[in-house]
Structure 1
Amino acid sequence: MPVQFPLKLVGRHMLAPTVGHYQFLRDDGQPLDFQPGQFIQVHFHYADGTETKRSYSLATIHDHAIGAGEAVDIAVSFVPGGAATALFEGLDIGGHVQASGPYGRFCLMPGDHNARYLLIATGTGVTPYRSMLPLLAKAMAERGVEVVLLQGARTPGELLYSEDFYNFAEQHANFRYVPCLSRELPENSHPDVRHGYVQQHLAEFAPNPATDIAYLCGNPDMVDATFEALKEAGLPNPQVRREKYVSSK
């Protein structure tokens, strides 16, 4: 059994009509040391008493070990009738959940020597990239790496953390933020906004096995389609790192 620890809710707001941003403190006096890209699991019980859990990538913009008393962020998708949705919607400020972790290897690797990262996401799959921003800034400064983030959503209001990514792009010339909107474009949209799905616009950036490492996170159909496109472009499996997100009730 993984070691569980209490998380206390200290802040929340809506990121999108069906996605909430939740901020927690680990409430046992211990640090929550994680690598950007990792996730935690929240443990709870169904109404019949059966134990269950849900996984959430940490969205904390992270450039150091998270010490005791420092907050961590997650993004929670609300699913109609979902048990986890009921848990989070009913959680008041100061309330607790039980968690374990961190887990996962969807992280930037210290030994990477690539010239470019292609970061591709839909929905809450973009949260790991938010936590990676300080490490990406370091990679750009130290070895001149370029970064392209393609974020898929239906409408502008569903682009999670877009303000963070636009601000980061303004501060870092080697970072390009490309929102891909399948249903609705904003008025007077940024020149890098695209209409359609992320996998439809991947070819524009000419994936290159000699220079690129790609990260795929989000909807399984998107991950599978984009993985196939990257394979056709010649990227070998070790240069394509994947994590699928499935909304669970």
Structure 2
Amino acid sequence: MAIQHFPLKLVSRRMLAPTVGHYVFVRDDGAPLDFIPGQFIQVHFQYGDGTATKRSYSLATIHDHALGPGEAVEIAVSYVPGGAATALFEGLDIGGVVDASGPFGRFCLMPQDANRRYLLIGTGTGVTPYRSMLPELERLIGERGVEIVLLFGARNPTELLYGDEFRAFAHKHPDHFRFVPCFSRELPEPGSAQAHADVRHGYVQQFLAEFAPNPDSDIAYLCGNPNMVDACFEALKGHGLAVPQVRREKYVSSK
């Protein structure tokens, strides 16, 4: 797949969490963005002194978006106090254009996979690629009955990005998709929509063993905080998973 360079025009935005925005773009040249769920794009801009820089954002796009197949380009943007990229996105009006390139990356579901279960583990905006994968996961559930566990780490319920969508997917596929939010600081209010049975109090790496990672059946994906990625990678190796069975992408916050 050839790497493309293209303009993105902002269509809409909303807040996912107090410091994370969900941005929906379309290509301003009218072409679709052909990508594989799990890939990312880079947004190019300049610092105040004119120095060129760029930031990487996993695509959150679900292909059957209301704008039509392939038309929407969706990303989640973390706001960093004093950050140059934060200033760029906060100051971007509807209809505004940014310069982008991609898609990049191999953090994708592979067509040759024959595993029985996927362990998807993410923290913060590291859950973004899993949202994009939902239609493909649904297809795999139908075709070969795969099971999926999504362990998602957040500090509190307000930071559970796309939580309603993952809960809805779990409700739709109760025998195949298990959504396990792990809150490190604050649990949901009793009786709230987020206070379902699979909520955990702590970090995702603390609960990995509970799901009995199995080298005979599992492929794991790790995305987000580098410390979490490293800790889970070592834990999965300890359970016998070979390196090719563990796919990793680390998110490092940049100003």
**Same fold by TM-score greater than 0.5:** yes
Distance 2:8 2:108 in 1: 23
In 1, are the aligned partners of 2:38 and 2:132 still within 8 Å (CA)? yes
Question: Could you tell me which residue of structure 1 aligns to residue 240 of structure 2?
Answer: 234
Contact 2:45 2:52 in 1 (8 A): yes
Secondary structure of the structure 1 residue equivalent to 2:169: helix
Q: Partner of 1:56 in structure 2?
A: 57
2:71 is matched with 70
Q: Distance in 1 between matches of 2:25 and 2:70?
A: 10
Q: Secondary structure at the match of 1:62?
A: coil
Instruction: Determine the structure 1 residue equivalent to 2:213.
Output: 207
Amino acid of the structure 2 residue aligned with 1:186: P
CA apart distance, 1:31: 1.5
Alpha-carbon offset, residue 62 of structure 1: 2.6
Q: Which region of structure 1 is more displaced relative to structure 2, 67-76 or 89-98?
A: 67-76
1:184 aligned partner: 186
Deviation at 1:153, TM superposition (A): 0.3
* Native 8 Å contact 2:63 2:69 kept in 1: no
Residue pair 2:33, 2:70 contacting (<8 A) in 1 also:
no
Q: Show the counterpart of 2:110.
A: 109
**Following the alignment from structure 2 to structure 1, what is the Cα–Cα distance between the partners of residues 70 and 201?**
42
Contact 1:60 1:73 in 2 (8 A): yes
The 1-side partners of 2:134 and 2:157 are apart by 21
Superimposed CA distance per residue, residues 158-177 of structure 1 (whole angstroms, 9 cap, x where no aligned partner): 00000000000011120000
In structure 1, the residue matched to 2:31 is 30
1:119 is matched by which residue type in structure 2?
Answer: L
Distance 2:68 2:159 in 1: 31
What are the equivalent positions in structure 2 for 1:160-199 lying under 5 Å apart? 160-173=161-174, 174-188=176-190, 189-199=195-205
Hey, what's the Cα distance between the residues in 2 that align with 1:148 and 1:15?
Answer: 22
- Which residues of structure 2 form unaligned runs of 5+? none
Q: Distance in 2 between matches of 1:153 and 1:120?
A: 12
Deviation at residue 61 of structure 1 after TM alignment: 1.4
Is contact 1:32–1:67 with CA below 8 Å preserved after alignment? no
Q: Which whole-Å deviations, capped at 9, do the CAs of 1:163-221 have from their partners, x for residues lacking one?
A: 00000001112000000000000122110000000000001000000000000000000
Q: Distance in 2 between matches of 1:137 and 1:3?
A: 28
CA distance in 2 between counterparts of 1:175 and 1:202 reads 16
Q: SS at 2:128's partner residue?
A: helix
How far apart, CA to CA, are the structure 2 residues paired with 1:67 and 1:123?
A: 27
Q: Using the TM superposition, give the Cα deviation of residue 29 of structure 1 relative to its aligned residue in structure 2, in angstroms.
A: 1.8
Please name the residue that 1:42 is paired with: 43
Q: Is the 8 A contact 2:122 2:153 kept in 1?
A: yes
Q: Does 1:244 align with 2:244?
A: no
Contact map agreement 1:30 1:67 (CA 8 A) in 2:
no
- Which stretches in structure 1 are left out of the alignment for 5+ residues? none
From the superposition, tell whether residues 3 and 50 of structure 1 become closer, same or farther in structure 2 (CA, over 3 Å): farther
CA distance in 2, matches of 1:3, 1:240: 28
Residue in structure 2 matched with residue 6 of structure 1 by the alignment: 7
Q: Classify 1:50/1:67 alpha carbon distance in 2 versus 1 (closer, same or farther; 3 Å).
A: farther
Aligned 8 A contact 1:37 1:105 in 2: yes
TM-score by length of 2: 0.94
Residue 238 of structure 1: how far off its partner (Å): 0.4
Per-residue deviation, residues 6-29 of structure 1 (Å, max 9, x unmatched): 100000010001000000000102
| Distance in 2 of aligned mates of 1:221 and 1:69 | 34
Distance in 1 of aligned mates of 2:64 and 2:241: 29
Q: Residue 31 of structure 2 contacts residue 71 of structure 2 at CA under 8 Å; is this kept in 1?
A: no
Write the distance in 1 (CA, Å) between the matches of 2:94 and 2:70.
Answer: 16
Partner of 1:93: 94
